[in-house]
């Protein structure tokens, strides 16, 4: 059974870089696409980016500030979001992207942007 | 970018009711659409993929239909555990987009 776990700081200062890690167990990370998705408190879901064996794609609204990467040796996917503001406060989810849907999700991690 | 619009935003219904949620895409997405259920404090759960395929373990009272730009999620007989927020999501080779969500409330 695939399990997905997000980790990272729960508090980030404005203008700094948000860094999160997604650790996958129960399956190889290299055979699937993986996405980051976020959800501001009380609001809807927003896809951020995905990564696959031969590349990445980003939400155009975040493209200039986001980097997604993978470490196959650790079975981990990482997210970096630069120059954060209060609008980036959200629960951040990592999910397996089967190219048909997000079928396995982590429980999410709340990141608050505040000084 | 492909935009997804769900209606209604809020739906009040009773246990046993049949309900339908609609999702419209700003351009044709063939059948590349998924539906999710989300309960407070939890990650979304996949219900339907490829517009009408039921994810393993999901009750058969959930069904999806549509293609092109218009899609529906139907719950044939609401159960107490079905009161939640539902999202549609499109996927294509370059991006994924979610609808804004439909909150299903107890009448």
Q: Can you tell me the distance from the alpha carbon of A75 to that of A29, in angstroms, rounded to the nearest whole number?
A: 5
Residue B86 Cα, gap to closest chain A Cα (Å): 10
Interface residue ranges in chain B relative to chain A, Cβ cutoff 8 Å = 1, 32, 34, 36, 38, 42-46, 49-50, 55, 87, 89, 91, 94-101
User: Chain B partners of A98 at a C-beta cutoff of 8 Å?
Assistant: 49
pLDDT in tens, B55-72: 999 999 999 999 999 999
d(CA B2, CA A25): 33
Among residues A4, A32, A33, the alpha carbon closest in space to that of A20 is found at A4
Chain B residues in contact with A57 by the CB 8 A cut-off are: 94-95
Question: Rounded CA gap, A49 and A81, in Å?
Answer: 11
Q: Which pLDDT score, from 0 to 100, does residue B2 have?
A: 92
Residue environment code for B70-96, b if the CB has 16+ CB neighbours within 10 A, otherwise e:
ebbbebeebeeebbbbbbbbbbeeebb
Q: Which residues contact B7 (CB under 8 A, 6 or more apart)?
A: B21, B22, B24, B102
Confidence at residue A13, expressed as pLDDT on a 0 to 100 scale: 98
Check residue B76 and give its pLDDT.
96
pLDDT tens across A28-71, in order?
898 899 999 999 999 999 999 999 977 999 999 998 899 999 99
pLDDT on residue B94: 85
Q: How far apart are CA A63 and CA A66, in angstroms?
A: 6
Q: What is the reported pLDDT for A21?
A: 98
Question: Residues A105, A94: contact at Cβ < 8 Å?
Answer: yes
Structural contact between residues A19 and A78, judged by C-beta atoms closer than 8 angstroms: yes
Q: What is the mean pLDDT of residues A73-83?
A: 96
pLDDT tens by residue, B34-49: 999 999 999 999 999 9
Residue B41, pLDDT score: 96
On chain B, the residues whose CB falls within 8 A of the CB of A50 are 96
How many Å from the N-terminal Cα to the C-terminal Cα in chain A?
39
d(CA B19, CA B15): 10
């Amino acid at each position: 059974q695939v399990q997905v776990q997000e980790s990272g700081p729960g508090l980030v200062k404005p203008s700094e870089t948000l860094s999160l890690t997604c650790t996958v167990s129960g399956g190889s990370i290299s055979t699937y696409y993986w996405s980051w998705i976020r959800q501001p408190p009380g609001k809807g879901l927003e896809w951020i980016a995905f990564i696959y064996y031969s590349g990445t794609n980003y939400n155009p609204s975040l493209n200039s500030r986001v980097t997604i990467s993978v470490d196959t040796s650790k079975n981990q996917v990482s997210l970096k979001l630069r120059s954060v503001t209060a609008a980036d406060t959200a629960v951040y989810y990592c999910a397996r992207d089967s190219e048909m849907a997000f079928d396995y999700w982590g429980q999410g991690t709340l990141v608050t942007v505040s000084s | 970018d492909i935009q997804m619009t769900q209606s209604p935003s809020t739906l009040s219904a009773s246990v046993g009711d049949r309900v339908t949620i609609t999702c419209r895409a700003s351009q044709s997405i063939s059948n590349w659409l998924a539906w999710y259920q989300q309960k407070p404090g939890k990650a979304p759960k996949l219900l339907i993929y490829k517009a009408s395929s039921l994810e393993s373990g999901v009750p058969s009272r959930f069904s999806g239909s549509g293609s092109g730009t218009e899609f529906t999620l139907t719950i044939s007989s609401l159960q107490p555990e079905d009161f939640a927020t539902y999202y549609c999501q499109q996927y294509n080779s370059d991006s994924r987009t979610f609808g804004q969500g439909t909150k299903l409330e107890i009448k």
